[in-house]
Amino acid sequence: MASSTLLTPTSKLKPLYPIKPKPNSTTALPPPPPPLQQPQNHHLRRHFLSLATAILTSPLVPPIAPAFAASDEEYVKDTEEVIKKVRTTISMDRSDPNVAEAVAVLRETSNSWVAKYRREKALIGRASYRDMYSALNAVSGHYISFGPTAPIPSKRKARILEEMDSAERDLPRGR
């Protein structure tokens, strides 16, 4: 049962004040405020900005290079390394005491591979990238969902190996 102190107000109510009417077209509006005065140093600011623009657009300043784009050789080498790690990790016996560590290393390696090559426009369209990304996604998703010691089902393992074989076959062709 509720207490009577909770149901009755303990403070004195304040009176409500009337709402002020909104001004309409018949009421006179106050005069507009006087225009703001520009600071006296606006000429210095304008001079500084024009000087800074001239310096930054001059031929003496080297152009800003775009983000580092990975070379084809580096992409091929990194992808082959990831393929090797995936194959060794998924072929490990689940009773092996090093499985959890190998899965952690594989997740770190695959995350860095994806982070490195995800924004490379020249690589995203390649078949090797697509197949590798799909295989890494399947492996990572399995280990995240079922844990590092859970064996990969044979159908999923076959698909992962097939995608990695395809990626490995396409790498030397520049695909």
User: Which domains occur in the chain, in start order?
Assistant: 72-170 (1.20.58.810)
- pLDDT value of position 142: 92
Which residues, including other chains, have CB under 8 Å from residue 112's CB and lie 6 or more apart?
none
Per-residue pLDDT averaged across 157-171, rounded?
90
- Residue 137's pLDDT is 92
Is pLDDT at 122 greater than 50 in this prediction? yes
Smallest CA-to-CA distance from 54 within 42, 43, 46 is with 46
Q: Which of 116, 105, 124 is nearest to 77 (CA)?
A: 116
Mean pLDDT across the chain, nearest whole number? Answer: 78
Q: What are phi and psi of 154, to 5 degrees?
A: -60, -40
The model's pTM is 0.58
Cα separations in angstroms, 86 against 9, 79, 116, 171: 70, 10, 17, 16
Predicted local confidence at residue 125, as pLDDT: 80
Q: What whole-number distance in Å separates Cα of residue 16 and Cα of residue 22?
A: 18
pLDDT digits (tens, 9 = 90+) for 51-105: 777 777 766 655 554 444 457 788 889 999 999 999 999 888 878 888 889 999 9
Q: Provide the pLDDT for residue 158.
A: 93
**What is the percent of the chain with per-residue pLDDT over 90, rounded to a whole number?**
26
Mean pLDDT of 22-49: 64
State the Cα–Cα distance between residues 158 and 53, nearest whole angstrom. 59
Q: Is the pLDDT of residue 34 over 70?
A: no
Q: Buried b vs exposed e over 96-132: b needs ≥16 C-beta within 10 Å?
A: eeebeebbeebbebbeebbeebeeeeebeebebbbbb
Instruction: Write down the pLDDT at residue 38.
Output: 56
pLDDT-based confidence at 26, cuts 50/70/90? low
**Residue 136 and residue 142: Cα distance in Å, rounded?**
10
pLDDT at position 29 over 50: yes
pLDDT of residue 65: 43
